[in-house]
Amino acid sequence: MIILHDPATLLHDTVELLGSKLVPAYESPARVRAILESISNSHHSLEHVRLESRDDDKQSLLEIIADSHGSEYLAHLRDSFLQWREKDLVEENGSILPECFPVANKANSANRPPKDIFARTGYFAFDMSSGIMKDSYKSILASANLARSAVERLRSDDLSAIVALTRPPGHHCNGRKAGGYCYVNNVAVAASQWRKHAPGAKIGILDIDFHHGNGTQDIFYADSNTFYTSIHGEDEFPYYTGNADEEGVDEGLGANLNIPLRPGSSVEAYLEFLRLAIDALGVFAPEMLIVSLGFDTFRLDPLGSFQIDTADYETIGRSIRERLGNIPTAILLEGGYVVEHLGANLLSFIRGWEAGR
Ligand code: OKP
Ligand code: ZN
């Protein structure tokens, strides 16, 4: 398996609230470092991608991102840390966090960005686990670029699958708000990049992070050419989406399948529902597949509660490949927070994937 990594993804290093304390975020550079370590002790080939060295690349990447993300939101990701810095509202090594969020209102004022610099951070986020520090934007673009590069490699080298170590992750971002450690939706970037070559292509998305990919669902909710399916913890973060009755809207009705599973679910239950998701994707018959791969389904994960063990990822990888055959697949990293087990879990998934053909 080819695995793509950009060292710039390691720069983003922020904080989150745990109870009343600001602590280093679970979504940390150590996650990818641990995976890199495991890969270097394996037979897989790690390939470095470096967005920072290519200006023309950056321009075309921004165009692809703009297909699904608002320009004011992107400018906020790029500029807000410096704006706070100029007013000395944050330390050079600090992170900015939102304070006040827009809520449904009888007047319409919540629908435009406020002028206040603190308030804007809340307007462009839906929770407090999406801090922005001095290098966040570099990592956010590097991560999105890995999703794009994965698609380019799938096409040019005629590969059946490729893994991108996308960090920060993307599936909670809908193109207008950051949240759940996500700033740019890497899945949407991959889909846009594929369709740059194949306009109107049918694309399948399998989200097997522990959390519902509310952002990905939202972006494709009315799109009949994109089938999104997710298996996730019921009533867990991000709380307001992920119910089974969310089936898409307008043209997209029927192209969204949510499979919420009880917290604490066993691997047997998980595999049974995974089969439903895979079968639905098979019926949709996409020309390309994107997997949002999270390892917070691992039994020890602090943010998840499924009873899945390292060896089970092999079964999961094999099941997907066996059923869906050789549809070109971009496998993008989402969550997974037990740093010491991340590498082994990814290698297990890949082992299963490679055995499933
Ligand atoms: C992101 B992904 C701990 C709360 C963390 C955010 C969870 C984000 C999960 N203070 N809340 O889907 O793995
Ligand atoms: Zn997650």
Q: Is 294's C-beta closer than 6 angstroms to any atom of ligand 1?
A: yes
Q: Which amino acid is at 213?
A: G
Task: Classify burial at 342, counting beta carbons within 10 Å of its beta carbon; exposed 0-12, middle 13-18, buried 19 or more.
Answer: buried
Residue 213 Cα: closest atom of ligand 1: 12
Q: Is 173's C-beta closer than 6 angstroms to any atom of ligand 1?
A: no
Give pLDDT, residue 193.
Answer: 98
Alpha-carbon distance of 104 to 107, in angstroms, equals: 9
Judge whether 68 and 25 are in contact, CB under 8 Å. Answer: no
Give pLDDT, residue 44.
Answer: 97
Give pLDDT, residue 152.
Answer: 97
Give pLDDT, residue 200.
Answer: 96
Residue nearest to atom 10 of ligand 1 (CA): 18
The Cα-based distances of 24 to 28, 178, 296 in angstroms read 8, 18, 17
Q: 79: helix, coil or strand?
A: helix
Give pLDDT, residue 52.
Answer: 82
Alpha-carbon distance of 140 to 170, in angstroms, equals: 9
Average the pLDDT over 177-188 and give the result: 99
pLDDT in tens, 82-106: 999 999 999 999 999 999 999 888 8
pLDDT tier at 282 (50, 70, 90 boundaries)? Answer: very high
| Alpha-carbon dihedral sign for residues 115, 23, 137, 233 | negative
In sequence order, what are the residues at sequence separation of 6 or more whose Cβ sits closer than 8 angstroms to the Cβ of residue 276? 257, 259
Average pLDDT, the chain: 97
Task: Output the DSSP codes for 34-68.
Answer: HHHHHHHTSSSEEEE--GGG-HHHHHHHHHHHHTT
Residue nearest to atom 3 of ligand 1 (CA): 18
Judge whether 319 and 356 are in contact, CB under 8 Å. Answer: yes
Residue 294 Cα: closest atom of ligand 1: 13
pLDDT in tens, 317-348: 999 999 997 899 999 999 999 999 999 999 99
Average the pLDDT over 238-258 and give the result: 98
How far apart are the CA of 242 and the centre of ligand 2, in A? 13
Judge whether 139 and 27 are in contact, CB under 8 Å. Answer: no
* pLDDT at position 277 over 90: yes
Outline where DSSP puts E strands in 136-208: 161-164, 203-207
pLDDT tier at 215 (50, 70, 90 boundaries)? Answer: very high
Report which secondary-structure segment, H or E, holds 2.
Answer: strand 2-5
* pLDDT at position 176 over 90: yes
Nearest one of 341, 336, 67, 329 to 210, comparing CA atoms? 336
What single DSSP character describes residue 205?
A: E
Give pLDDT, residue 325.
Answer: 78
Give pLDDT, residue 107.
Answer: 83
Nearest one of 254, 175, 261, 170 to 218, comparing CA atoms? 175
Q: Is 126's C-beta closer than 6 angstroms to any atom of ligand 1?
A: no
Beta strands across the sheet bearing 161-164:
45-48, 2-5, 161-164, 329-333, 288-293, 203-207, 226-233, 256-261
Average the pLDDT over 287-296 and give the result: 98
Q: Is 232's C-beta closer than 6 angstroms to any atom of ligand 1?
A: no
Average the pLDDT over 143-157 and give the result: 97
Judge whether 117 and 84 are in contact, CB under 8 Å. Answer: yes
Residue 172 annotated among the catalytic residues of the structure: yes
pLDDT in tens, 40-89: 999 999 999 999 877 889 999 999 999 999 999 999 999 999 999 999 99
Question: How far is Cα of residue 171 from the mean position of the Cα atoms in its chain?
Answer: 4
Residue nearest to atom 5 of ligand 1 (CA): 129
Give pLDDT, residue 267.
Answer: 98
- Tell me which of 98-102, 226-230, 310-314, 345-349 is least confident: 98-102
